[in-house]
Structure 1
Amino acid sequence: MTAFAALHVPGSPLLLPNVWDFGTAAFLSARGFPALGTTSLGVSAAEGEPDGVPSSKDATVRLAGRLAGLDALISVDLADGFSDDPGEVGALAAELAEAGVAGINLEDALGDPELHAAKIAAAKKRAPGLFVNARTDTHWLGEPDIEAAIKRSLSYVDAGADGVFVPGLAEPADVERLVKATSTPVNLLFLPGKVTVAALAGLGVARVSLGSLPYRMALAATLRTVEAVRDGGELPLTPPSYDDVAALLPEAR
């Protein structure tokens, strides 16, 4: 079992913050978070690209290489793998594993489950030590259907997935069904006002991702800060100092 896989404990889930840049990742790593994921929305937005499109691949890989040098295990959100060719997805998985990445996230976007299974199999063949988290979007893009979620998840586990991810799933009874049906760790997305980490832990979930929430909260905090300065109000948060942030960055070469 890899160090990253060992963090996925049913009933004591890994809380995975998702980041979009080196500075944020370094800040969280310095505060003891053992693992971090990237968010395709945040990375794409930072690059001025639509979420998860092939043109955001280079930025994703470049960021992953930088994050792999941190004192944290890194999982990379690859959207659909940036390709419909399983061979290309497998090659990308191997490239990231070679760079020191611990895991990847591959989503089916409710496309052909056999194609998605082939991508997973290719990734595991080329990078067997990489933790492949297989995401199905039954509850994110379509009408919530736990039977479809279980069916897709099991096919991805059969293809070699190390974990399954069903963002949008929150109904306790359905969460329990998914956990019982799969032999691999179940990952769910934190949904403010709908679920808590403690509740998901009690249902046997092994990983809770924050997705794009930290990036979107950063946008909200930026707006509140600018408005407070404009209006003569108090800053909404106490920021780290310039020196604190500079100390997190690599030394000049």
Structure 2
Amino acid sequence: MTALADLHHADEPLLLPNAWDHASAAALAAAGFRAIGTTSLGVAAAAGVPDGASAIRDETLRLALALGTEPFLLSVDAESGFSDDPEEVAEFARELAAVGAVGINLEDGLGPVTRHAAKIAAVKSAVPGLFVNARTDTYWTGDGDRRETLARLDTYQQAGADGVFVPGLTDPAEITTLVRHLDVPLNILYSPTGPSVAHLTDLGVRRVSLGSLLYRRSLGAALEMLADIRVGRPPHGTVPTYADVQAFGGSNPAGQSETGCTAS
């Protein structure tokens, strides 16, 4: 069993925060998180393209290259693998593993079950040690049909998935049904309006992802601060110092701005 797999079987479920760049990942690691995922929405938004459009293969690989040697376990959100060809998805998985990623998240986007299963099987054949978290979108973009969800998850388990992910599912009874049915760990996307992490733990969930929540909150916090400044209110919230952020990057001399001037 790999180190990432071990975290799915610890006393507490794996709470997985999702980063969108090197600084956000470094900040999360400094906060004590042993494993960190990436968020495709954050990567896509930074590149100015839609999420889920298979447009950020290169950006995703570059981010994995930047994070793969850092002292935390890295799981990469690879959308649907950036291809419908299982062998091309497997090749991308090889590239991710080569730069240090230990996990990959693959979503079915409600495409054909057999195609997604083939991608999972191809990845596990190419990189057996890579933790494959197989996502179904039955509750995310579908109608939340339990029978279809179970059928898809069964197929993905049989294809070799190490864990399964059902974003959009928040009903405790439905979560319990899945936990009892599955042979692999269930991953649920945390929702501020859904069950707490403690409640999800009691339900048997083994991985709780934050997805794009931190990225979206960071944008919201920036806009809130700007609104305060605009009307003359003292801004609220935690603001890392210039030196703090420099430390996350580690590339420029401390105290020097991009123009070479001392930062205030």
Provide, for residues 64-101 of structure 1, a one-character-per-residue CA deviation record: whole Å limited to 9, x for no partner: 11111221111100111010000000000111111110
What TM-score, normalized by structure 2, do the two folds share? 0.93
Q: Which residue of 2 aligns with 1:216?
A: 216
What is the CA–CA distance in structure 1 between the aligned matches of 2:207 and 2:94, rounded to whole Å? 24
State the SS of the aligned residue for 1:247: helix
What is the CA–CA distance in structure 1 between the aligned matches of 2:133 and 2:6, rounded to whole Å? 14
The range that moved more, 1-10 or 155-164, is: 1-10
Identity rate of aligned residues, in percent?
53
State the SS of the aligned residue for 1:28: helix
Q: Provide runs of 4+ in structure 1 moved above 3 Å.
A: 250-253
1:11 Cα deviation (Å)? 6.5
What is the CA–CA distance in structure 2 between the aligned matches of 1:109 and 1:152, rounded to whole Å? 12
What is the CA–CA distance in structure 2 between the aligned matches of 1:248 and 1:19, rounded to whole Å? 13
1:192 Cα deviation (Å)? 1.0
What is the CA–CA distance in structure 2 between the aligned matches of 1:133 and 1:238, rounded to whole Å? 33
| 1:228 and 2:228 correspond | yes
What is the CA–CA distance in structure 1 between the aligned matches of 2:42 and 2:247, rounded to whole Å? 23
What is the CA–CA distance in structure 2 between the aligned matches of 1:2 and 1:34, rounded to whole Å? 14
| 1:9 and 2:9 correspond | yes
What is the CA–CA distance in structure 2 between the aligned matches of 1:70 and 1:11, rounded to whole Å? 25
- More RCO (CA 8 Å, sep 6+): 1
1:64, 1:101 within 8 Å by CA — same for their partners in 2? yes
Q: Which residue of 2 aligns with 1:199?
A: 199
Q: Which residue of 1 aligns with 2:240?
A: 240
Q: Aligned letter for 1:142?
A: G
The range that moved more, 99-108 or 53-62, is: 53-62
What is the CA–CA distance in structure 2 between the aligned matches of 1:193 and 1:7, rounded to whole Å? 25
Provide, for residues 83-138 of structure 1, a one-character-per-residue CA deviation record: whole Å limited to 9, x for no partner: 00000000001111111101000000111000000000001111100000000001
The alignment yields a C-alpha RMSD, in angstroms, of 1.3
1:226 Cα deviation (Å)? 0.9
The range that moved more, 127-136 or 232-241, is: 232-241
Q: Aligned letter for 1:231?
A: V
What TM-score, normalized by structure 1, do the two folds share? 0.97
State the SS of the aligned residue for 1:140: coil
2:38, 2:75 within 8 Å by CA — same for their partners in 1? yes
What is the CA–CA distance in structure 2 between the aligned matches of 1:84 and 1:10, rounded to whole Å? 34
Q: Aligned letter for 2:2?
A: T
Q: Aligned letter for 1:28?
A: L
1:11, 1:203 within 8 Å by CA — same for their partners in 2? no
1:252 Cα deviation (Å)? 5.4
Structure 2: any 5+ residue segments left out of the alignment?
254-264
What is the CA–CA distance in structure 1 between the aligned matches of 2:244 and 2:160, rounded to whole Å? 42
Aligned residues: 253
Provide, for residues 24-68 of structure 1, a one-character-per-residue CA deviation record: whole Å limited to 9, x for no partner: 101111121111111111100001011132321100110011111
Provide, for residues 175-210 of structure 1, a one-character-per-residue CA deviation record: whole Å limited to 9, x for no partner: 111111111110000011122101110010000001
2:188, 2:205 within 8 Å by CA — same for their partners in 1? yes
Q: Aligned letter for 2:199?
A: A
Q: Which residue of 2 aligns with 1:41?
A: 41
1:80, 1:107 within 8 Å by CA — same for their partners in 2? yes
